[in-house]
Amino acid sequence: MGRRFKKILLVFLGLVILFLVAGYSFIYYVPYSEGVRSGELIKFSRKGVLIKTWEGEISQGISGAQIFSFSVLDKEKGVIDDLVQYEGRYIKLYYVEKYRTFFWWGDSNYFITKVEENRSPHIEE
């Protein structure tokens, strides 16, 4: 009985590990959606107690009623530098939305991959 129990335990642990790897790979590699959002960058900060993540918000309306919250992965150094520079300006964000996120990635399911300064539609030149 001892040998049979060990074999069943090994198969069970193998299946659990396979399931965890498959789940992580799905969340990491498969995007739910991709798109672009524009608005005024009203907040961008590094936050967290033990695990620090980059989080931000843009206002998509005149009154600030439409807020788009997003996260930026640590590996996106150029995006982080651009967002710090564009604080308070009108920008265009390119994002990938994930099905789920992990606490060490960020608070949002929306991850910024590129940022550009944009002309505000509220200010006529």
Using one digit for the tens of pLDDT, what is the confidence trace for 25-55?
887 788 899 999 999 999 999 998 889 999 9
Say if residue 125's pLDDT is above 60: no
Q: What's the pLDDT band for 65 if we cut at 50, 70, 90?
A: confident
Residue 56 has a pLDDT of: 96
User: How does strand 67-72 pair with strand 53-59?
Assistant: antiparallel
Which of 17-26, 29-38, 59-68, 112-121 shows the lowest per-residue confidence on average (mean pLDDT)? 59-68
Q: Hey, what domains does the chain have and what are their CATH numbers? A: 33-117 (2.40.50.140)
Residue 123: exposed, middle, or buried by beta-carbon count in 10 A (0-12, 13-18, 19+)?
exposed
